[in-house]
Structure 1
Amino acid sequence: MTKQILQVGFLGAGKSTHRYQGPFIAKLTDKFHIKTIWARNLSHVKWDQIPGAVYTENIDDVLQDPDIDLVVISLPVLHYEYTKKTLLAGKNVVCEKPFTESRVQAEELFDLAKEKGLLCMCIQNRRFDSDFLTAQAVIESGRLGDIYEVEMHYDYYRKDVVDAGKFDPFGSFLYQHACHTLDQAISYFGIPHDYHAEVKQLLGSGRMNDYFDIDLYYDAPLKVNVSSSYMRIKSRPKITVYGSKSH
């Protein structure tokens, strides 16, 4: 990847492509050009098309195009399968979350990318959220003293989603949303020494899991708590930091 402007392809043409990933990539015109976007059925695309991009129902228009350097996998499911297919086609990959269903799958993909001299990673754009960056700045300013507890929340009230959803460990609130906040915590505080996790189905057996509470334990006294629910009408603060100094 030595070219000045990288040619980008997308697998998937839904909200993630048109609202979360595409617009940010398209702004970096000195670095990227979105060339081709694949959808299983173009008639189902409900978003305004990205200017300059070619939309196609033929996946080989992305995977077999020698000009495309990077493929963004922006599908809601089958991330492992499509990431592997894309790496085998010789393309660098950025994949939507959740990256895979297991550590074994993730390690297989990273090993495959290394074998082929490619880059493979999961999208983690929440590392750039303003509240998370502000919390880091406050911690690093020293105004709070020694940090002993951090609470991180990602709350919703979406009972209709819970009512419609059946239990699926890989399509759950834990896999779909906790990954954002856990990535923030681990990217800043590092890998914890230990953890405790509680996952619930608040509306009963057979429903999607709609609640998680995860404690990450670091060198004493620091503990980071990541907890959220689909059933909170009033959201808690996104990030609360407790330190040895009071202001």
Structure 2
Amino acid sequence: MSKVIKTGLCSYGMSGQVFHAPFLHVNPGFAFAAVVERSKHLAQQRYPNVQVYTSVEEMLADTSLELIVVNTPNYTHFEYVKAALEAGKHVIVEKPFTVTAQEGETLAALAAEKGLLLSVYHNRRYDNDYKIVKQVLQSGVLGDVLEVEIHYDRFKEELSYKKHKEGGLPGTGALYDLGSHLLDQAITLFGMPPALWADIRIIRKDSVVDDYFEIVLCYDQLRVRVKCNYLVREPLPAYQLHGRKGSFIKSKSDIQEAQLQRGLFPDSPDWGAEAPHEWGLLHTETDGKTVKQYLPGTNGNYMDYYQGIYAALVNKAANPVPPEDAIKVIRVIEAAFQSSREGKVIHL
């Protein structure tokens, strides 16, 4: 790679430390060149050459930076993405893209007007568990798929000390935080649903944000349920797919986040490799014979997203996650809140 894209991170919290800086550091097409840290200066301890700024505005004034990663609290995404685009920078923004679909549409139009790349970091498209689910669906081995259930459960009674996560601010709560992952996967696999029904609740003591949701995406013959519950001690399968010919059951097994939190870099041996006991169970029928077997998945790798960003910027390849994809997710989130509030099916 001859061109190196100098990149700045808008914050160095968990997202910056785990999901962005390590990939920028080991990918030769990028340079982790700048970061916003108001006091701690943790980034320089691991990346001594990074330039530290005390505000996003100060970093955006750095003319050497081509790409900005907006990984600040959800309610600030619109403000900072808009400012970065107006400063002439390409932008990656963490999910959820924006709090409202209208905000997303405004930013997509601004990026198009300025001829800049705007991409949303829906990294769970690059999990090994999702990748094998997609492979099974595309193979047709289940026949016509009639029911799918996708879970992202936790056991977490205590509330987060991070106000931007659970402080009742715009764009907070389980549906925006975790539901955006599940909905992006569902929409990528099956398209926008014609209608949906949702039940969104608060179940933990003293919580002021949703920590439970069930959304039923209604297609013609297919029903896709996306579910999250913060009080699930014994996890259920993350993916359950049932078709006319068979079923596929898969645990949530991607290990990249755990590897990153241990301080590993994404060029480490066996990156994103799945343990055999996590393989998905396929039970179907082929040529009149019953087939019941465990399927190994390919390794997950969030670097594929950054490779896609590099190709889009340097070789004019397709944006790996264009804003239009992420706007669909926000539309469904808004419709789900309306459905839960009004107790009825919402037609999209």
- Taking structure 2 as the reference length, the TM-score comes to 0.65
Match of 1:241 in 2: 241
CA gap 1:190/1:51 in 2 versus in 1, 3 angstroms = farther
Match of 2:96 in 1: 98
Q: Secondary structure at the match of 2:99?
A: coil
- TM-superposed CA distance for 1:167, in Å, is 4.0
CA offsets per residue over residues 86-130 of structure 1, 9 Å max, x none? 111111111112221111111111111111111112210000111
> 1:4 & 1:71 partners in 2: Cα distance?
17
Match of 1:191 in 2: 192
CA offsets per residue over residues 153-183 of structure 1, 9 Å max, x none? 0000111027994544521111111001101
Match of 1:129 among 112, 127, 130: 127
- TM-superposed CA distance for 1:58, in Å, is 4.5
> 1:47 & 1:54 partners in 2: Cα distance?
8
Match of 1:37 among 30, 35, 38: 35
* Aligned partners of 1:149 and 1:241 also within 8 Å: yes
**Given residue 98 of structure 2, which amino acid in structure 1 is its aligned partner?**
T
> 1:96 & 1:134 partners in 2: Cα distance?
24
**Given residue 6 of structure 1, which amino acid in structure 2 is its aligned partner?**
I
Q: Does 1:200 align with 2:201?
A: yes
* Aligned partners of 2:159 and 2:207 also within 8 Å: no
Q: Secondary structure at the match of 1:83?
A: helix
- Taking structure 1 as the reference length, the TM-score comes to 0.89
**Given residue 67 of structure 2, which amino acid in structure 1 is its aligned partner?**
L
- TM-superposed CA distance for 1:201, in Å, is 1.1
CA gap 1:190/1:91 in 2 versus in 1, 3 angstroms = same
User: C-alpha root-mean-square deviation of aligned residues, in Å?
Assistant: 2.3
* Aligned partners of 1:162 and 1:207 also within 8 Å: no
Q: Percent identity?
A: 33
For structure 2, the 5+ residue unaligned runs are 247-282, 284-348
Q: Secondary structure at the match of 2:49?
A: coil
> 1:144 & 1:182 partners in 2: Cα distance?
22
CA gap 1:123/1:15 in 2 versus in 1, 3 angstroms = same
Q: Aligned ranges for residues 1-247 of structure 1 at < 5 Å?
A: 4-29=3-28, 31-39=29-37, 41-43=38-40, 45=42, 48-77=45-74, 78-161=76-159, 165-168=166-169, 170-203=171-204, 207-220=208-221, 222-246=222-246, 247=283
> 1:97 & 1:156 partners in 2: Cα distance?
19
For structure 1, the 5+ residue unaligned runs are none
> 2:204 & 2:17 partners in 1: Cα distance?
33
> 1:97 & 1:5 partners in 2: Cα distance?
25
Q: Secondary structure at the match of 1:160?
A: coil
| More RCO (CA 8 Å, sep 6+) | 2
- TM-superposed CA distance for 1:80, in Å, is 1.0
* Aligned partners of 1:38 and 1:62 also within 8 Å: yes
